[in-house]
């Protein structure tokens, strides 16, 4: 029977039926170790008991009302996110792309409110911000953009991790904001030089540009801090979140500082589902669990030990270009394209991802045990050794 689903994904030949922590079970009863967590979504693992209980309890009370009414759970979630991140106000959506759309609208209106007729947002080569038209345009990947022209105006791209390239734009009075990821995820786990974000923040301050940090993938303990910008001791003007905020229940958020909080006024933006009671309750439970289990520290420690393990087991192996990571966001860059490693790993019942053609990306659940983290390192390094020797013979 042919599929009734649009073919926008090349799906792997496996369907999962249930999960437990870092493990998934397929429809044949086989168990898989999950080193991807639904692409950084299920940070608390699968079927987390507290999330499951909160979602089922909330479903029996109230799933949805409307943003036309007050929502105590949404308010509580916003207060909690602001306490953890230093931001002042939050707008809730349902995905990362939508959270970034909100950020883009805030920046543009902020520009208009200050007399900038055609506000421009600077984004980064190799960045990724989503698949809607504006976020696709913000995304620095020409290959994906051509088919969807004409794209919205108002974006320019500069190389990532290059302060001088930004500095060179200083005279352009149409620029209102710089938007970037703290670590580029889809772009290949690219970690900028220490001090880069701090320098970008200083530059933004100097020129009156807003700094928007997309933490859709890096946020919420993933990199060993609550938010990756906190490694650099800065306070951006805007931050976006999604992915792990609901541990799989769709929710996104755009957080802003006071100066930009009044930019969007009633009627200028909205979302039917954004921050509804079900999603807000799930997200509150996720954050409570992350706080009580100190998952920021857990990600930092486990990530460091996985990185050590990868370095020592792959030391000196030809074909491996780089091994890098921060917390539980890890990348192994090979010299050759290595997409076939995903299927090879699947056959060994390990779930991994390859991004930018030659970077193996690991984003395991933050609750993973030491033993399972070690198992991922051993399984993966065996696979990489086989792949590299095959590619070379």
Catalytic center residues: 128, 214, 243
Pattern of binders to ligand PLP over 12-51, x per CB under 6 A?
A: ---------------------------x------------
Q: Please select the residue that binds ligand PLP; options are 32, 37, 71, 181, rule is CB under 6 A.
A: 181
Q: Please select the residue that binds ligand PLP; options are 38, 45, 185, 224, rule is CB under 6 A.
A: 185
Tokens 């070690």 appear where? Answer: 374
* Backbone phi and psi for residue 354, each to the nearest 5 degrees, phi listed first: -120, 130
Long-range contacts from 166-174, C-beta under 8 angstroms, 24+ separation: 166/122, 166/200, 166/203, 167/203, 169/122, 170/203, 170/207, 172/120, 173/116, 174/111, 174/116, 174/117, 174/118, 174/119, 174/120
- Does 130 engage in binding with ligand PLP (CB under 6 A)? yes
Structural tokens at position 96? 């990362």
- Does 95 engage in binding with ligand PLP (CB under 6 A)? yes
Pattern of binders to ligand PLP over 255-294, x per CB under 6 A?
A: ----------------------------------------
Q: Which residues contact 168 (CB under 8 A, 6 or more apart)?
A: none
CB of 62 to ligand PLP, least distance (A): 25
- Does 326 engage in binding with ligand PLP (CB under 6 A)? no
CA distance 338 to 172: 41
Q: Among all residues, whose Cβ is closest to ligand PLP? A: 96
C-beta closer to ligand PLP: residue 130 or 327? 130
Q: Which residues contact 291 (CB under 8 A, 6 or more apart)?
A: none
- Does 128 engage in binding with ligand PLP (CB under 6 A)? yes
Strands of 31-34's sheet in order across: 16-20, 23-26, 31-34, 350-351
Q: Taking contact as CB under 6 A, which single stretch among the options 213-221, 223-231, 263-271, 355-363 is the one that binds ligand PLP?
A: 213-221
Site of interaction with ligand PLP (CB under 6 A): 39, 95-97, 100, 128-130, 181, 185-186, 214, 216-217, 242
């Amino acid at each position: 029977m042919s599929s009734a689903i649009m073919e926008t994904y090349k799906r792997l030949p496996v369907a999962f039926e249930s999960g437990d922590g870092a493990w998934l079970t397929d429809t044949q009863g086989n168990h898989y170790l999950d080193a991807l967590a639904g692409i950084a979504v299920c940070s608390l693992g699968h079927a987390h008991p507290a999330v499951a209980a909160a979602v089922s309890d909330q479903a029996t009370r109230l799933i949805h009302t409307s943003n036309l009414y007050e929502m105590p759970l949404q308010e509580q979630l916003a207060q909690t996110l602001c306490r953890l991140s230093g931001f002042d106000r939050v707008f809730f959506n349902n995905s990362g792309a939508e959270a970034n759309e909100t950020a883009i609208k805030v920046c543009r209106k902020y520009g208009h409110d200050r007399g900038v007729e055609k506000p421009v947002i600077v984004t980064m080569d190799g960045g990724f911000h989503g698949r809607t038209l504006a976020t696709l345009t913000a995304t620095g990947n020409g290959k994906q953009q051509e088919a969807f022209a004409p794209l919205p105006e108002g974006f320019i791209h500069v190389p990532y991790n290059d302060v001088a390239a930004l500095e060179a734009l200083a005279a352009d009075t149409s620029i209102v904001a710089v938007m970037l990821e703290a670590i580029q995820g889809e772009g290949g786990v690219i970690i900028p030089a220490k001090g880069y974000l701090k320098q970008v923040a200083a530059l933004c301050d100097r020129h009156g540009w807003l700094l928007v940090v997309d933490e859709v993938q890096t946020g919420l303990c993933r990199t060993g801090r609550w938010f990756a910008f906190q490694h650099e001791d800065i306070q951006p003007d805007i931050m976006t979140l999604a992915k792990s905020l609901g541990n799989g229940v769709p929710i996104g958020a755009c957080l802003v500082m006071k100066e930009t909080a009044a930019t969007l006024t009633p009627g200028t933006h909205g979302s039917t589902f954004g921050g509804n009671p079900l999603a807000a309750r799930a997200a509150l439970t996720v954050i409570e669990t992350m706080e009580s289990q100190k998952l920021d520290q857990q990600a930092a420690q486990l990530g460091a030990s996985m990185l050590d393990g990868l370095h020592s087991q792959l030391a000196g192996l030809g074909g491996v270009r780089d091994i890098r990571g921060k917390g539980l966001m890890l990348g192994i860059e090979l010299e050759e394209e290595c997409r076939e490693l995903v299927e090879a790993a699947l056959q060994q019942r390990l779930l991994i991802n390859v991004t930018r053609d030659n970077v193996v990306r690991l984003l395991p659940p933050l609750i993973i045990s030491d033993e399972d983290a070690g198992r991922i390192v051993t399984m993966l390094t065996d696979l990489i050794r086989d792949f590299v020797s095959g590619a070379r013979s």
